A and B are shown apart, each in its own frame.
Chain A
């Protein structure tokens, strides 16, 4: 799917015109050495400024190298947050998705409303929501459990993941032909058995590419935690910039370095997702 699918909408839901099929190959976005060079160029765009910087000040490149270990630690923290948010959100999302598909009237509607809200509200707003409205500690069985900011942020990121995963699950289950349900029913499977033993195993493969898409988006969104005061890579980048005397010419290389880190992390995921989509499609 070439759409930026934070909406989690699948092509199957869409009124795509019959005689055409959206080609799934992303030949255009295949990485070529030129692109890496372009990115490296971004990272050191302020090199001319370094020439005038004088002997005392480090060159932008030297600054980046000097602080790279710290910044990379921050980046690792971003990755950790994204992985945890993804894990929580996936589990919750499967539950929410199945709730949307459940029999009965009230549960599916409630689940649908929750999905719509968490999908359509900006992620940053959800993050604010959690940061300000979840207390800094909770009491479980008389035990005080402190909730540091990063835990709350992780929770905040898992909400949109949940909604998007729920939508992916619902779409994938819907895409399994009705005849599968009928066949299972005629073999005296219960609804629950049919879902877990017959339908879900069939859609697991189909759900993988959009699920990875969501992961890529959440990984890139973790930098928003810096806005609500969680110390992660972007926060550290600003601190490093201040520590180096706040020279304006350092902004571009430092933020360029952050761009580079995320690119090197997300681009392979993007390629892998595209490759999976192609492989599943030919079957």
Chain B
């Protein structure tokens, strides 16, 4: 795994021993509808965090707030000391640190798998093409797609596309990866290949935040699980205790439905 040395992107008020993501009392409303009603938690470097909960509980909104795709209404989010809610936020600086993978892959359909991975480092970071290409090939090999470099997204299966999307995100050398229900649109048989890729990433020490419906995977890979319902965190804890002895009635009902 190639990681950018931290010196490359210095953040003034942050040291690796502090939480890499700090979410403090985040509120978000769409019109009069309040989706997030005060969410707070920290994520430490190298930690793998899973956010679970019923549909419409605000999980995806929360994860989109972290890389400023959605502006928050109130509260604050910090990533490596960068204040995401600052109106003068340097979005490029933030998005170099935070990678994101979507439910619908969202690959660029007019570019090959390799080009998809290479585009952002060249266009956004202005890196040298030859170096980026070598890295992109390595990343595709890492997600087990060696040989598919020149395939267009339309020629790949859902699981393959999603792995290209992960490689595309990793090419920006992020410090935090966000996964927004990345297996929800996949065929059951291709879910596994994507989960294996994410697990390897987690084992290498990448800080990961996942919104997921794959409870077994969450139990397996997560360091900490947050259960959200109607815009608040109802309950959280390490998977062992969370799944074994949930306290809240809502959590228990949810778990009994999905497990």
Contacts and interface: CB of A to CB of B under 8 A. Distances in A.
A18 to B, nearest CB: 7
A18 B154 CA distance: 9
A245 interface: no
Interface of A: 17-19
3 contacts: A17-B109, A18-B154, A19-B109
A17 B109 CA distance: 10
A17 B110 CA distance: 10
Nearest to A18: B154
A17 B108 CA distance: 13
Contacts of B154: 18
A259 B109 CA distance: 44
Interface in B73-115: 109
Interface of B: 109, 154
Contacts of A17: 109
Which 3 A-B pairs rank lowest in CB-CB distance, beginning with the nearest? Answer: A19-B109, A18-B154, A17-B109
Nearest to B109: A19
A19 B154 CA distance: 9
Nearest to A19: B109
A17 to B, nearest CB: 7
A46 to B, nearest CB: 50
Nearest to B153: A19
B103 to A, nearest CB: 15
Contacts of B109: 17, 19
A19 B152 CA distance: 13
A22 to B, nearest CB: 16
Contacts of A19: 109
A18 B155 CA distance: 12
A19 B107 CA distance: 12
Nearest to B104: A19
A7 to B, nearest CB: 26
A282 to B, nearest CB: 24
A256 B149 CA distance: 59
Nearest to B154: A18
A199 to B, nearest CB: 32
B146 to A, nearest CB: 26
B157 to A, nearest CB: 15
Nearest to A20: B109
A105 B154 CA distance: 38
B79 to A, nearest CB: 32
B131 to A, nearest CB: 32
Contacts of A18: 154
Nearest to A17: B109
A17 B153 CA distance: 13
A195 B154 CA distance: 37
B165 to A, nearest CB: 15
A17 B154 CA distance: 10
B151 to A, nearest CB: 16
A18 B109 CA distance: 10
A109 B154 CA distance: 36
B112 to A, nearest CB: 16
A19 B108 CA distance: 11
A19 B109 CA distance: 9
B109 to A, nearest CB: 6
Nearest to B110: A17
A145 B8 CA distance: 91
A204 B43 CA distance: 62
A19 to B, nearest CB: 6
A265 to B, nearest CB: 42
A236 B64 CA distance: 65
